[in-house]
Structures are given as structure tokens and as C-alpha cells.
Amino acid sequence: MFRSAVAFRWNHDGQLEALEHPDLVRREQLLGLDGHLERLHRNTHQFVAGLPANNILLWGERGTGKSSAVKSLLPVFAEQGLRMIEVHKEELYHLPAITRLLRTQPYRFILFCDDLSFDENEPGYRELKTLLQGGLEAPPPNMLIYATANRRHLMPERLEDNADSAEIHPEEAVAEKLSLSDRFGITLGFYPVDQPQYLDIVRHLARERELNISDEELSQEALRWALSRGSRSGRVAHQFVDDLTGRLGLAALSQARKAGDDQ
């Protein structure tokens, strides 16, 4: 199975499922993330080389490139034996079974947990914490966890956790909630891009697609799109260029059809 595919999903039936059409992202597509990509790729390079490496938490607002950064690893490291397995939060209680399956395989595995967060007593929290912390059984040396999240601390902090709590030592309850994030050796924060960075991403995508539009018009439309979405990010830039590509394509088809009718 691991010879014929590089990306997998642990499904709801507790089985490993190969992905026939994985979403592979090229590193050069990700603009404005050079520092984070350098750390992410260096850590992964250490891992596939059999050297010590860390679990990684990528946190920040939606659309800032966290998931794409992780997906950019497979095109670079798959030939060196890297395989990636997507594990949804709801399936994390299967972690003991997953580790048993992977431990003896001659590959290097990244468990990709996207959009991770936990509520009180949610299934999977203890299993993930044990795997990151290390229980009596050592974690597999050929497996790491890369997780993305919208907030740095994966457990919600509530007002009742403060000093007015009925607990004798409320600070211990707060520390428990923060401890899961602390178990990731590397934490990378992703933030919205500023206007020049946003426009740079838009221009880069427009050049890749060879769109016939002036820079002034492109910038004006891109800023209007971002304003309508209420944010600037790589995802918003991609969505804008997708829409623009479609509109220009329809206009070209309409022109071609009209020219054909005139003949």
C-alpha cells in the first residue's frame, strides 16, 4: 500500500484509505511564508534522514497557508520515504491502532491533523496528549504529528478557570489546558498578510495563469474582493484569481462565439 501511494486518510471505519488524488502543493506557490517553510522543511528533512525531529503545531487565522504549508512537504520528501496520513479529530481515539500499524513499516509518516481543537472531555484528547508526551510505551520513531489550528491553545480557556474558580488550585486547571500545545516541539504562528503582500500573491497567480488584465485593474479588483470578504490572505487571493480566471474565460468564449456568428 505504501509503495503505490503517498497520501492516506484514516477513515471512520478505522481503516487506512489511500488517496488517489492528493492535493499536492508546490513550495514556490506559497508566497510570504519563507521563514515558516524553512523551519517546516528543515524539521521534515531531519525526520526523513533518521535524525531527531519535532512534532509541529501551525496555528493562526483561516486561509493563512497552514494546511498548504504541510501539503508542500510531500512533493519534496515522498521519494525519500515520507508518507502522510490525514487523521480527523474525531478519529484520534484510533491513535493506538495507528501507531501499531505504522511502527514496523520502513517509511516515515506524518500524521496530519487539520483544524484541531478540543472541548472538555472530547474523545481523542487524551490519546493525542499521551502520544505527544510519551506514556509507558515510546512513540514510534518513524512517526510525527503535524497539526493546524485556528488558535494557539487547543483547549478553550473559560472565565471559570481563573482565580474565582471553586477549585483549590485553579492555576493547575489552566496549566492542564495549555499543556497540549506545549507538547509540540515547534509552534509556528500564521498571520493575515498586509495589502502589498496580498497584491503580490494576486499578481503571482495572475502571471502563472497568463491572465490578460492590466496591473491597475487587477489590483483594484483584488482589493474590492478582499474588502467584500473582510480579510486578506493567500486563500482569499486564490479565490479572487479563480473567479477572475473564470470571468475572463467566459468573456473569451462569448467573444469567440460572437465572432463565429458574424462569419
Q: For residue 62, what is its C-alpha cell?
A: 483561516
Alpha carbons 192 and 61: distance in angstroms, whole number = 7
Q: Are 197 and 31 in contact (CB under 8 A)?
A: yes
Per-residue pLDDT, 235: 92
Per-residue pLDDT, 169: 44
Per-residue pLDDT, 258: 80
Alpha carbons 116 and 12: distance in angstroms, whole number = 17
Q: What is the mean pLDDT of each run of 10 residues along the chain (263 residues)?
A: 94 92 90 92 98 96 92 96 95 92 96 86 80 82 95 67 52 56 91 93 94 96 95 93 96 84 68
Q: Are 60 and 69 in contact (CB under 8 A)?
A: no
Per-residue pLDDT, 151: 84
Alpha carbon separation from 4 to 15, 18, 130, 150 (Å, rounded): 17, 9, 31, 33
Q: Are 173 and 83 in contact (CB under 8 A)?
A: no
Question: Where in the chain are the domains?
Answer: 7-190, 195-262
Nearest to 97 by CA among 171, 153, 15, 219: 15
Per-residue pLDDT, 131: 86
Per-residue pLDDT, 124: 79
Matching residue, cell 498571520: 191
CATH level 3 topology of 7-190: Rossmann fold (3.40.50)
Alpha carbons 252 and 150: distance in angstroms, whole number = 40
Q: Are 46 and 55 in contact (CB under 8 A)?
A: no
Alpha carbons 39 and 241: distance in angstroms, whole number = 29
